[in-house]
Amino acid sequence: MCQVEEEYSGPLEKTSLPTVSKKCMKCKESTAVLIIRVGDAFCRDCFREYFVHKFRAMLGKNRVIFPGEKVLLAVSGGPASSSMLTQVQEGLSRDAPKKLRFAPGIIYIDEGGACDQNAEEREKTLSQMEAIFRKTGFPYHIVSLEQVFSLPNSVLEPVSCGPERPGSSYKAAVDQYLQQKEVNQRQGQLATEEAQDAVAHLSVQASQVSPEHKQALEKLFSSLKTLTARQDMLQTLRQHLILHTARLNGYSKVMMGDSCTRLAIRLLSNISLGRGASLAVDTGFSDPRYGDVVIVRPMRDYSSKEIAFYNRLFGVRSLFISGLGTKTSNKASIQQLTESFVIKLQADFPSTVSTIYRTSEKLHTACPPQTSGAVAADKCLLCLCAVCNKAGKSQHQHYHFYYKHFVDAASASHASLISERLSRGELGMEAKIDPASCCPSGTLDPFSCQREGQGCGEGGSCTAARAPAPADLKSLLCYSCRLTVEDMAAEDTLPPYITSEAEKRWNSMSRLRANPAAPFTRAESQNNRIDTEAHTWAPRCRDKGR
């Protein structure tokens, strides 16, 4: 692969450069101004039409946004999200029957604290962004990253998703909305709506950042040793802030401005980071993992070239804000490396990004039944992706005798914990423990005690008889989040909502461990039965079932 340029430069030589201006492939009249994809030349007007149409088509094809719904637009100031904002504005303003019909709000997260920006730069950026937002007329929320230190635990609590809205009801919902609107107009209710909007504008400013939070954020990011971990942590915290703001203000959908190029890069870097299990939701059109708030990505069909051209040709204002990866070398982090790899490959093989994109479209999760209610142990504490923690179908009857531990002996994540301890030479100690004296339940199953990841293994003593051990955060995380946390010099720099939610979950697991005979709550036992069907993508778990 590294030799691509040398080997293939011959056959890939571009055909003779156009001496006569190329004509637009669509209208065949005007001169083309840009080439997108592999060789499609568009003139200015046809390109605009194509761009605008694609946005509507994306929303129309995936009928997840219902009329009148409150949608939060996550704008970072960069080209893709600014373009998305413009498209939403344009779509809402049209008088055609096909106009978009939802109630947008904007969220902007000031990440200057993590990226070492000084106060002056942050102020300047904020005021520029505010000016842009005010022009749109939508309610906006400016949140600083430091506010993660005042988030409540409830952000991480899994929520079961709202009632399923089947596709057929979409048309009905649209009709109903249109009828209602007519009635409202006649009764002059438009005025009150506008007044409400105006009020919404007033109270959305984030309060001044407190110096303790600022310091805490700096400590958090400086305790992460690698840029990879820092970028991953930033992404996680950003998602939590957006989620919290959406919930607080009643938004049921969040629109992210991820472009096709960015998602292709994310797909590959997520695989490298160990997030293979959640690829479909991380790069797909909709991400339902949070339950009540659904993340959608309407820009996922646009390459970054199309977006940059559109912004330039049609005057979309965007800011460049330095991030964690700015001006770093190609190899500074996994994400950077993947970006430079994909972009470089794209330069020589223009169908790279679209191929990756098409592949990602084929990924689907075997969706766990949402109606079963969320079990906390099933989701990673940080990224809230589903974690393979349960064994197979045949296990469930024996579950409460042997496998009351949240990390099941036969699951994939348990296996990785074992191999980790093995390589550190810690497992030898556990083998010497007398299983009978160790486990409070008196079960003599050596499998459950010796192989057990956290409870009995830690320090070689059983936690049941003593005060509960401090929460082992890593055991509550998926593989990838665990790697990020392992990169931290000090786990206590994490924001309080993470550490206290970890304590809570750990304690409830300890309770289970201490009381093996205690019957599950009805919800938990129902979940066990249903969830064993869920992890169809990890056949290894099932096969090991006994």
Partner 1 sequence: MITSCSQGSIMAVPIAIHLEFGGGAELLFDGVKDHHVTLPSQSEPWDMKQLLVWIRGNLLKERPELFVQGDSVRPGILVLINDADWELMGELEYQLQDQDNVVFISTLHGG
Alpha carbon 55 to its chain's center: 21
* Shortest distance (Å) from residue 36 CB to partner 1: 9
- The SS3 of residue 517 is coil
| Residue 438 to residue 427: CA distance in whole angstroms | 15
Token representation of residue 459? 């320090």
Q: Considering the complex, state which of residue 320 and residue 401 has its C-beta at the smaller distance from partner 1.
A: 320
| Residue 404 to residue 505: CA distance in whole angstroms | 14
Stretch that binds partner 1, among 74-82, 122-130, 240-248, 496-504 (CB under 8 A): 74-82
Q: Quote the radius of gyration of the chain (alpha carbons, Å).
A: 26
Using CB under 8 A as the binding rule, whether residue 353 contacts partner 1 is answered as: no
DSSP 366: -
Q: Considering the complex, state which of residue 119 and residue 429 has its C-beta at the smaller distance from partner 1.
A: 119
* Shortest distance (Å) from residue 81 CB to partner 1: 5
Alpha carbon 15 to its chain's center: 42
Judged by CB under 8 A, the residue of 64, 204, 343, 512 near partner 1 is 343
**DSSP bridge partners of 107:** 74, 141
| Residue 527 to residue 241: CA distance in whole angstroms | 29
Q: Considering the complex, state which of residue 329 and residue 515 has its C-beta at the smaller distance from partner 1.
A: 329
Residue numbers 297-336 binding partner 1 by CB under 8 A: 304-305, 307-309, 312-313, 318, 320-323, 325-327
| Residue 28 to residue 43: CA distance in whole angstroms | 9
Alpha carbon 459 to its chain's center: 35
* Shortest distance (Å) from residue 32 CB to partner 1: 6
142, 206 Cβ separation under 8 angstroms? yes
Q: Considering the complex, state which of residue 257 and residue 455 has its C-beta at the smaller distance from partner 1.
A: 257
Q: Considering the complex, state which of residue 41 and residue 216 has its C-beta at the smaller distance from partner 1.
A: 41
Q: Considering the complex, state which of residue 23 and residue 63 has its C-beta at the smaller distance from partner 1.
A: 23
Q: Considering the complex, state which of residue 41 and residue 415 has its C-beta at the smaller distance from partner 1.
A: 41
Residue numbers 31-50 binding partner 1 by CB under 8 A: 31-35, 41
Stretch that binds partner 1, among 160-168, 258-266, 483-491, 502-510 (CB under 8 A): 258-266
Judged by CB under 8 A, the residue of 70, 344, 398, 421 near partner 1 is 344
Q: Any residues with CB less than 8 A from the CB of 49 and at least 6 apart, and which?
A: none
| Residue 249 to residue 140: CA distance in whole angstroms | 11
Stretch that binds partner 1, among 147-155, 178-186, 253-261, 394-402 (CB under 8 A): 253-261
Judged by CB under 8 A, the residue of 8, 9, 12, 22 near partner 1 is 22
Size of residue set near partner 1 by CB under 8 A:
43
* Shortest distance (Å) from residue 252 CB to partner 1: 24
DSSP 153: G
213, 123 Cβ separation under 8 angstroms? no
Judged by CB under 8 A, the residue of 59, 80, 334, 409 near partner 1 is 80
- Exposed, middle or buried by CB within 10 Å (0-12, 13-18, 19+), for 12? exposed
| Residue 353 to residue 362: CA distance in whole angstroms | 15
Q: Any residues with CB less than 8 A from the CB of 80 and at least 6 apart, and which?
A: 257, 258, 259, 262, 299, 302, 304, 307
Judged by CB under 8 A, the residue of 77, 368, 453, 457 near partner 1 is 77
Using CB under 8 A as the binding rule, whether residue 424 contacts partner 1 is answered as: no
285, 62 Cβ separation under 8 angstroms? yes
26, 46 Cβ separation under 8 angstroms? yes
Judged by CB under 8 A, the residue of 10, 11, 18, 315 near partner 1 is 18
Judged by CB under 8 A, the residue of 347, 431, 518, 523 near partner 1 is 347
* Shortest distance (Å) from residue 325 CB to partner 1: 6
Binding residues (CB under 8 A) for partner 1: these are 14, 17-18, 21-22, 31-35, 41, 76-82, 257, 259, 261-262, 304-305, 307-309, 312-313, 318, 320-323, 325-327, 339-340, 343-344, 346-347
